[in-house]
Structure 1
Amino acid sequence: MAVEHPLPTSDAPSGPGDQSRIHNIGYRGYDGPRLGRAYARRSLYSQSLRGAYGLGRSAKSKVLPMLLFVVMCLPAGIMVAVAVATKADDLPVDYTRYAILMQAVISLYVASQAPQSVSRDLRFKTVPLYFSRPMETADYVRAKFAALASAMFLLTAAPLLVLYIGALLAKLDFADQTKGFAQGLVSVALLSLLFSGIGLVIAAVTPRRGFGIAAVIAVLTIAYGAVTTLQAIAFEQDTTDAIAWIGLFSPITLIEGVQSAFLGATSTFPGNVGPGDGQGAVYVLVSLGLIAGCYGLLMRRYRKVGL
């Protein structure tokens, strides 16, 4: 028959080498409010958005995103200063054209911040800890997607706001400038969603941040370089009908096609051959399909990671 041995207490004598004690450390059950999934999702969104600009992180983490933000806004400030000083009749660059000109900065930003948003969770295997709470896979994916898209929108919309304020200070036509500013905001909103989705899908494949950065840059730059090269060849061979269709295979030319078809932008494809209304509708459908596809791939990826 088994004999139970009582544990020593602070009052009971113990052997010469026995220093064990029982202490009441005051654990109590939590009886406060349960904030639930919505609060967890908002908290993750806020934390991820702040992290995209290095807020709440080390000073070194703030350098690159803040520098890229300044680089995005600086040309707009110079253009405004020139327009005001020379009393120009219009801005040097259309609102819808600005993000296309600054695509290298935008690509570098999404390449640096998409891995920062998701790769560390994969590398240190903290994703299952998120899902041990009321948060579900969809909550995590939506929060991360929305946070990076919001950060991208701030990056791309801020210089448009600088241009708009400068145009009003230069006393340019209010109606024309307001219309152009609104068209530019629609364009960069679509660009932010598309680039964020592509960047997050690529970054979610590997826990190595360096590999993620290189992969995002490679995909964006190689796709754009290949498309523009093929468009130039098609123009030289006088097959201009193919130019607009070729533009479907690069994220930046997708945005450019949507702008020229529906947002009043001038096409910069070779020979200024932009998509017509029918082709423009295809551009919109492909853009929205890519965004939805990126969301679906992220959901599939994190269902496996969260196990």
Structure 2
Amino acid sequence: MPPETVTQQRADVIHNIGYRHYEGPRLGRAYARRSLFSQSLRGAYGLGRSAKSKIAPMLMLAVMCLPAAIIVAVGVATNATRLPVEYTRYAIMLQAVIGLYTAAQAPQSVSRDLRFKTIPLYFSRPIETVDYVVAKFAAMASALFFLTATPLLILYVGALLAKLDFADQTKGFAQGLVSVALLSLLFAGLSLVIAAATPRRGFGVAAVIAVLTISYGAVSTIQAIAYEQGTTGAVSWIGLFSPITLIDGVQTAFLGATSAFPGNYGPDTGTGLVYLLVLLGLIAGSYGLLMRRYRKVGL
């Protein structure tokens, strides 16, 4: 046999190197969605990341809870007959901390996937655009709800320890939870839309701060000017143009909250319906924009 034939026969040998088909359980989209949600939620507080990544979110959580703990301590020590702060007002008072936390964590949640172009890798598995968007949206909203509801829980427990009226405190606590749940959905949606627009984390942080925090200062200033000039009817309508004043208006109209608007000129029930529709529209619109964005980048 010619040498060329022997060489060709040896080159054509198929070797069994031990590859086998996967025979374990196939967990599917639901498991992938839950895993992405869990990983994103943990990442919002630096869990599973470096120690440096935990400092900022944990510090902001402590800043959110510290005033509530002080209020409780003073109330118990002085046998107070009522809490000095309404449950629905607490998040409004600390909106700057909430805005900074959101600005820091929303870009962290989505910008790296965009920057390193890993989105198509997610969608190469049994996961679709809706799964990615729902998991990220739910994780950011859950992280914000934990940030805003924890101090309310401290206030509620402290009020019960101070032996304040159980029914009144439970009602106020429930109203506060509804308020911060709406705030969490709104802030999560707006911040993720902004952060998903750019792979640059710094740009995302600055844009989220501008929309969530600077807008509140601008709207509050314009409301104060309108109030001083006697145009009190415009005060409640101006509140539609800032996320935090939008929450303030909804809880004033429907949750029995005291308005933080100048002169307490919060919206009535009719205007409150407009506030509620705008709020729900922004949440739904944010979800729709995220779906549209990730259908493009996932190609």
What letter is aligned with 1:83? Answer: G
Equivalent residue for 2:156, pick from 164, 188, 201: 164
Distance in 2 separating the partners of 1:123 and 1:242:
43
Larger Rg: 1
Partner of 1:180: 172
Cα deviation for residue 229 of structure 1 reads 1.5
Distance in 2 separating the partners of 1:302 and 1:59:
31
Partner of 2:142: 150
Distance in 2 separating the partners of 1:187 and 1:62:
27
> Could you report, residue by residue, the CA deviation over 1:92-134 in whole angstroms, capped at 9, with x for unpaired residues?
1000000000101100110000001000000111000000011
> Could you report, residue by residue, the CA deviation over 1:115-169 in whole angstroms, capped at 9, with x for unpaired residues?
0100000011100000001100000000000000000000000000000000000
Cα deviation for residue 8 of structure 1 reads 5.5
Distance in 2 separating the partners of 1:245 and 1:86:
40
Cα deviation for residue 190 of structure 1 reads 0.2
Between the two proteins, the alignment pairs up a number of residues equal to 295
| Structure with greater helix percent | 2
Q: Does 1:290 align with 2:293?
A: no
The alignment's TM-score, normalised by the length of structure 2, stands at 0.95
What letter is aligned with 2:45? Answer: Y
Cα deviation for residue 31 of structure 1 reads 2.0
Equivalent residue for 1:92, pick from 75, 84, 91: 84
Distance in 1 separating the partners of 2:10 and 2:171:
80
Cα deviation for residue 7 of structure 1 reads 4.3
Give me the identity figure in percent. Answer: 79
Distance in 1 separating the partners of 2:11 and 2:17:
17
Q: Does 1:5 align with 2:8?
A: yes
Distance in 2 separating the partners of 1:6 and 1:60:
60
Distance in 1 separating the partners of 2:144 and 2:282:
17
Partner of 2:234: 242
Partner of 1:206: 198
Partner of 2:53: 61
**Is there any run of 5+ residues in structure 1 with no aligned partner, and where?**
11-21
Cα deviation for residue 221 of structure 1 reads 2.2
Closer/same/farther in 2, CA of residues 215 and 6 from structure 1, 3 Å limit: farther
Equivalent residue for 2:181, pick from 171, 182, 189: 189
Q: Secondary structure of 1:182's match?
A: helix
What letter is aligned with 1:138? Answer: V
Q: Secondary structure of 2:167's match?
A: helix
Q: Does 1:257 align with 2:240?
A: no
Equivalent residue for 2:118, pick from 126, 133, 147: 126
Cα deviation for residue 24 of structure 1 reads 4.9
Distance in 1 separating the partners of 2:92 and 2:85:
11
Partner of 1:116: 108
What letter is aligned with 2:8? Answer: H
